């Protein structure tokens, strides 16, 4: 799909909507640490990557489409493409399997990745290709690899990227195993939720690389020391992503909350702790920790990977509050 396909006077609306989206992200301070990302978001048209998407409806999902014959629905599709919200892009048997992330969260994660000119980046989870396009705009096509398990997803991402004028490496494969043929990487950004850090990612990184990955409704920012060691803190922002799929995917652990007080369950930060400690701490222990430490923010939590061990912690990796991950 190319920009002219929307037609019927919507080109100007696309430009206006994209500018409004960039202003909104800018106002939120998402890229204060690296304002070069603003130019990438201004230049890469998101609507090329979401020719259709699904919105919630009474009977499940309603599809909005760029080629809808109803001009009002086409305009609704275009405005939605530039809303600062996630978009469901692939649904199977009523289950969401792929989406385009909220742009302001994407901007925050890209800024936190701290890329430098000449860096190579591996993206786990190709999605629509939009995030890969932003990375390719910033670094150049030859320095970006994006991987996804589903050949339909990678094929559509490749088409979307080409329509936007970008041709990074788009690989069909198990993201949990990384992409060794294009390694080593200076940065790894993960756009699907995991429950622990697959070791191949560390092995494919350069010393000092960053790995940014969603875990337990948060995003961990790991600094890689070598193929067996990495450590880092969570970002402050909440994050909700479709789970990683593949043979190397760790099994999700249940987050039982039976018998916990409603006042705690309704707190988003407690639900984060409950997910992070699932299977390792009794939920009532987690509640006691949360209350004793005065409802700690995400940035106080971290993860350490050392050889075969991997654990999460509060404040100090060697402190009293630590528990194993899967």
CA-nearest of 305, 137, 127 to 205 is 305
Indicate the pTM of the whole model.
0.92
Q: For residue 173, with 0-12 CB atoms within 10 Å meaning exposed, 13-18 middle and 19 or more buried, which class applies?
A: middle
Give DSSP secondary structure letters for 33-86. Answer: T-THHHHHHHHS-GGGG-SEEEEEETTEEEEEETT-SSHHHHHHHHHHHTSSS-
Q: Summarize pLDDT for 54-72 with one digit per residue, the tens.
A: 987 666 788 999 999 999 9
Kindly tell me if the per-residue pLDDT of 250 is higher than 50. no
Neighbours of 107 (CB within 10 A): 26
What's the angle, vertex CA 26, arms to CA 24 and CA 31, rounded to 5? 135
Q: Summarize pLDDT for 15-47 with one digit per residue, the tens.
A: 999 999 999 999 999 888 788 999 999 999 999
Q: Summarize pLDDT for 76-99 with one digit per residue, the tens.
A: 999 999 999 999 998 887 777 888
Distance CA(185)–CA(101), nearest Å, equals: 23
Kindly tell me if the per-residue pLDDT of 126 is higher than 80. yes
User: Is 3-234 assigned to CATH 3.40.50.150?
Assistant: yes
pLDDT at 258 (0 to 100): 63
Distance CA(210)–CA(141), nearest Å, equals: 20
CA-nearest of 175, 191, 278, 275 to 241 is 191
Residue identified by tokens 């890229």 is 31
The residues, ordered by sequence, that sit 6+ positions from 186 with a Cβ below 8 Å of its Cβ are 115, 116, 119, 120, 121, 205, 206, 208, 209, 210
β-partners of residue 172 are 148
pLDDT tier for residue 11 given thresholds of 50, 70 and 90: confident
pLDDT tier for residue 264 given thresholds of 50, 70 and 90: confident
β-partners of residue 56 are 61
Domain coordinates in residue numbering, the chain: 3-234, 262-324
Tokens (6 digits) for 254: 């249940």
Sign of CA dihedral 313, 227, 220, 272: negative
Kindly tell me if the per-residue pLDDT of 273 is higher than 80. yes
- Residues marked active site are found at 98
Rounded mean pLDDT of 242-256? 61
Q: Summarize pLDDT for 179-235 with one digit per residue, the tens.
A: 999 999 999 999 999 999 999 999 999 999 999 999 999 999 999 999 999 999 999
């Amino acid at each position: 799909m190319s920009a002219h396909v929307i037609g019927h006077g919507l080109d100007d609306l696309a430009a206006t909507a994209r500018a409004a989206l960039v202003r909104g992200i800018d106002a939120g301070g998402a890229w204060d640490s690296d304002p070069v990302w603003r130019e990438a978001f201004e230049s890469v048209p998101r609507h090329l990557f979401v020719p259709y998407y699904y919105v919630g409806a009474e009977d499940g999902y309603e599809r909005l489409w760029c080629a809808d014959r109803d001009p009002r629905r086409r305009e609704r599709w275009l405005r939605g493409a530039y809303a600062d919200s996630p978009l469901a892009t692939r649904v199977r048997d009523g289950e969401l399997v792929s989406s385009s992330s909220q742009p302001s969260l994407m901007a925050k994660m890209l800024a936190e990745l701290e890329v430098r000119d000449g860096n190579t980046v591996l993206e786990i989870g190709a999605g629509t290709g939009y995030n890969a396009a932003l990375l390719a705009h910033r670094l150049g096509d030859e320095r970006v690899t994006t991987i996804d398990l589903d050949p339909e997803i990678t094929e559509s991402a490749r088409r979307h990227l080409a329509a936007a004028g970008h041709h990074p490496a788009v690989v069909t494969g198990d993201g949990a195993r990384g992409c060794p043929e294009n390694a080593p990487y200076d940065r790894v950004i993960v756009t699907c939720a995991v429950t622990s850090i697959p070791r191949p990612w560390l092995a494919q990184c350069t010393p000092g690389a960053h790995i940014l990955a969603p875990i337990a409704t948060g995003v961990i920012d790991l600094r890689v020391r070598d193929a067996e060691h990495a450590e880092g803190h969570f970002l402050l922002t909440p994050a909700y992503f479709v789970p990683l799929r593949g043979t190397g995917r760790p099994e999700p652990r249940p987050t039982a909350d039976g018998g916990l007080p409603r006042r705690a369950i309704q707190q988003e930060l407690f639900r984060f702790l409950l997910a992070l400690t699932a299977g390792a701490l009794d939920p009532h222990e987690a509640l006691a920790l949360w209350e004793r430490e005065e409802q700690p923010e995400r940035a106080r939590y971290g993860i350490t990977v050392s050889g075969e061990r991997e654990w999460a912690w509060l404040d100090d990796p060697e402190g009293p509050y630590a528990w194993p991950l899967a």
